[in-house]
């Protein structure tokens, strides 16, 4: 490609949607309102067909009605005009409610008469982050948020189901999403207690503080039912597993009485540099506190321990 020869190692696989027509929709936040552009001729040739793009401006605070939208869809066939009108109005409402500053669908098509985005790019207004999508943080979430603000690493924690029986302590954001998705895929989304991740090579004390919060929430209010804590992450070459496991191990030792009362089982799986040292420490912890801990390295699949934990 362009004279360069390298192995192609990463692919994005998406569902193929058979279609004959491609449309274009773009919304941009401006100083005094939002510009909305639409064309029935979208796709890779949108630039060559820019004369077909119609644009309207919606001032801030103005209602976006069918009358406002009418110039965008004036030339559409009557049988799809109503559907496209409603689609644009709904997307504009989401654009405003979720604090987007830019949203582009190029293209979207119609599947069984309903709009279906085939490709989309979007940007959010980071100055609206204080709204946190209207969610009020719990004291534990607020505590981790405060730690995150003071470090160059990344520390995240969100309570999903306070009485859930499946809890995670996962390194790297992408991996934490994969684990959460796997738990849901196995039919136990309602038992997933939290979303948590740490990345960016946090210090041992930062991992300790983070782990304390996860374990406190995961072991709260014992009810006689067994629970599971999954400790894992994806490979990140700059993260020393041996070092980051120290913080977790210290927290597990401190919280052993709570873990025992909550009947919490522990499963650990890691790769990364020095993973052998980190996993050896986890095995030693199990022997020290007299608890069987499932410990696995890269020979096991990344999300395989979810099935065992469940």
The pLDDT tens digits for 37-55 are 999 999 988 988 899 999 9
- Taking the C-alpha atoms of residue 140 and residue 150, their distance in angstroms, rounded to an integer, is 16
Give the pLDDT mean for 221-225: 94
Q: What's the pLDDT band for 266 if we cut at 50, 70, 90? A: very high
Q: What's residue 188's pLDDT?
A: 92
Instruction: Please state the length of the chain.
Output: 310
Q: What are the angstrom distances between the C-alpha of 87 and each of 90, 104, 236?
A: 5, 14, 41
Give me 119's structure tokens. Answer: 């490709």
Which stretch, 51-60, 132-141, 238-247, 270-279, has highest mean pLDDT?
Answer: 51-60
* pLDDT exceeds 80 at position 79: yes
Give the pLDDT mean for 107-126: 91
Q: What's residue 237's pLDDT?
A: 52
Q: What's the pLDDT band for 104 if we cut at 50, 70, 90? A: very high
Residue range 5-25, pLDDT digits in tens: 888 888 888 888 899 899 999
Q: What's the pLDDT band for 136 if we cut at 50, 70, 90? A: confident
Q: What's the pLDDT band for 67 if we cut at 50, 70, 90? A: very high
DSSP tag of 99? T
Which parts of 98-203 fold into alpha helices (H)?
Answer: 139-149, 173-185
Q: What's residue 236's pLDDT?
A: 56
Give the pLDDT mean for 151-155: 90
Place of tokens 């996993």: 279
Q: What is the mean pLDDT of the chain?
A: 89
The pTM of the full predicted model, rounded to 2 decimals, is: 0.59
Give the pLDDT mean for 166-195: 89
Among 204, 283, 208, 287, CA closest to 251: 208
Q: Are 229 and 306 in contact (CB under 8 A)?
A: no
* pLDDT exceeds 70 at position 173: no
* Minimum mean pLDDT range among 12-26, 59-73, 125-139: 125-139
* Pairing verdict, β 293-296 and 120-124: unpaired
DSSP string, 225-284: S-EEEEEEE---TT--HHHHHHHHHHHHHHTHHHHHHTTEEEEEE--STTHHHHHHHHHH
Q: What's residue 199's pLDDT?
A: 85
- Taking the C-alpha atoms of residue 227 and residue 216, their distance in angstroms, rounded to an integer, is 13
Cis check for the bond before 213: say yes or no (omega within 30 of 0): no
Rounded percentage of the chain residues whose pLDDT exceeds 90: 58
Q: What's residue 118's pLDDT?
A: 93
Give the pLDDT mean for 215-238: 85
- Taking the C-alpha atoms of residue 152 and residue 42, their distance in angstroms, rounded to an integer, is 42
154-159 β-sheet, strand order: 154-159, 194-199, 166-171, 227-233, 264-269, 293-296
- List b or e across 170-186, with b for residues whose CB sees 16 or more CB atoms inside 10 angstroms: bbbbebbebbbebbeee
Q: What's residue 96's pLDDT?
A: 93
Q: What's residue 135's pLDDT?
A: 66
Q: What's residue 31's pLDDT?
A: 93
Instruction: Considering only residues 4 and 147, tell me which one the structure prediction assigns the higher pLDDT.
Output: 147
Q: How many CB atoms lie within 10 A of CB 187?
A: 9
Q: What's the pLDDT band for 278 if we cut at 50, 70, 90? A: confident
* Minimum mean pLDDT range among 19-33, 67-81, 273-287: 273-287
Q: Are 244 and 272 in contact (CB under 8 A)?
A: no
């Amino acid at each position: 490609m362009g004279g360069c020869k390298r192995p192609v190692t990463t692919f994005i696989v998406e569902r193929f949607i058979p279609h004959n027509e491609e449309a274009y929709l773009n919304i941009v936040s401006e100083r005094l309102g939002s510009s909305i552009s639409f064309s029935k001729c979208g796709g890779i040739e949108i630039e060559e067909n820019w004369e077909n793009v119609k644009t309207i401006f919606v001032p801030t605070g103005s209602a976006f009605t069918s009358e406002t939208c009418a110039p965008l869809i004036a030339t559409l066939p009557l049988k799809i005009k109503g559907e496209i009108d409603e689609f644009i109005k709904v997307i504009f409402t989401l654009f405003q409610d979720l604090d987007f500053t830019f949203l582009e669908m190029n293209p979207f098509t119609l599947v069984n008469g309903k709009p279906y985005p085939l490709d989309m790019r979007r940007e959010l207004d980071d100055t609206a982050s204080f709204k946190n999508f209207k969610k009020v943080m719990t004291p534990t979430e607020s505590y981790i948020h405060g730690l995150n603000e003071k470090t160059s690493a990344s520390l995240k924690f969100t309570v999903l189901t306070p009485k859930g029986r499946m809890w995670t302590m996962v390194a790297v954001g992408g991996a934490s999403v994969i684990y959460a998705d796997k738990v849901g895929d196995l039919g136990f989304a309602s038992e997933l207690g939290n979303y948590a991740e740490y990345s960016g090579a946090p210090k041992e004390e930062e991992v300790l503080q983070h782990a304390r919060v996860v374990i406190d929430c995961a072991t709260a209010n014992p009810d006689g039912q067994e629970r599971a804590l999954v400790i894992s992450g994806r490979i990140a070459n700059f993260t020393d597993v041996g070092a980051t496991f120290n913080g977790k191990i210290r927290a597990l030792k401190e919280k052993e009485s709570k873990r025992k009362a909550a009947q919490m089982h522990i499963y650990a799986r890691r790769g990364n540099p020095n993973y052998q040292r980190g996993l050896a420490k986890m095995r030693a912890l199990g022997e020290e506190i007299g608890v069987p801990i499932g410990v696995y390295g890269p020979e096991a699949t990344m999300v395989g321990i979810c099935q065992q934990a469940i």
